[in-house]
Amino acid sequence: MADENDVTPDEPVNPDELADSVASGIEEAGEDEAALADEWAAAMAESGDDGDGDVEDDWAAAMQEEAAASEEPQDNVEPAPLDPLQDDSQPSKFSEDGPELDVILDIPVRISMEVGSTQIPIRNLLQLNQGSVVELDRLAGEPLDVMVNGTLIAHGEVVMVNDKFGIRLTDVVSQSERIQRLR
């Protein structure tokens, strides 16, 4: 049901009329709400936004201004002189085996060992506490996965080196297999 105060999108909105409409609609409200409506009406009046400027008129004025500007004779505009482009770069150094790798040899990578994994519902995850045992997808004694930045590069077994854990590589994934897994 349409109310007489409903505004369609095609009609311009007068802020004073809107403020009066809001103020008249809350006559039954408490004094705090009426005071708030009066503050809004005063703020709208102070802002100078009286709603008399029509958006379509502004658009039409802008279009006329653009048309007038295009009719005016243009100054003689000449392209700026530019120097021809020259390739001053050094040719890349390729050895017989391929590009030089010296530039990437100092980039740090994260190496990690994966004992195993499993999937469990969140319900079971939330029930875990100290002493809980989670069954993994690997058998005891199976080699660990050696991962570099999340990519499998080898398998190995855990060893002790000067009271610290280490890993002895037992199987290294071939370079072609590693490249295939990246794709």
C-alpha separations of 114 from 5, 13, 58, 153, 159 in Å: 69, 66, 67, 12, 14
Query: Whole-model pTM above 0.85?
Result: no
Q: Does residue 123 sit in the same domain as residue 175?
A: yes
User: Domain range spanning residue 34?
Assistant: 15-70
The domain spanning residue 133 has which CATH number?
Answer: 2.30.330.10
Is there a domain that residue 39 lies in?
yes
Helix axes 15-25, 31-47, angle to 10 degrees: 180
Q: Report pLDDT digits (tens) over 4-35.
A: 555 555 566 677 777 777 666 655 555 666 67
- Residue 174 and residue 88: Cα distance in Å, rounded? 39
Which helix (H) or strand (E) segment is 95 a member of? strand 94-95
Is there a domain that residue 97 lies in?
no
Tally the domains of the chain. 2
Q: Report pLDDT digits (tens) over 101-160.
A: 778 888 899 999 888 889 999 999 999 999 999 998 888 888 999 988 888 899 999 888
Q: Does residue 60 sit in the same domain as residue 125?
A: no
Task: Please return the burial class of 1, using the count of CB atoms within 10 Å of its CB with bins 0-12, 13-18 and 19+.
Answer: exposed
Is there a domain that residue 135 lies in?
yes
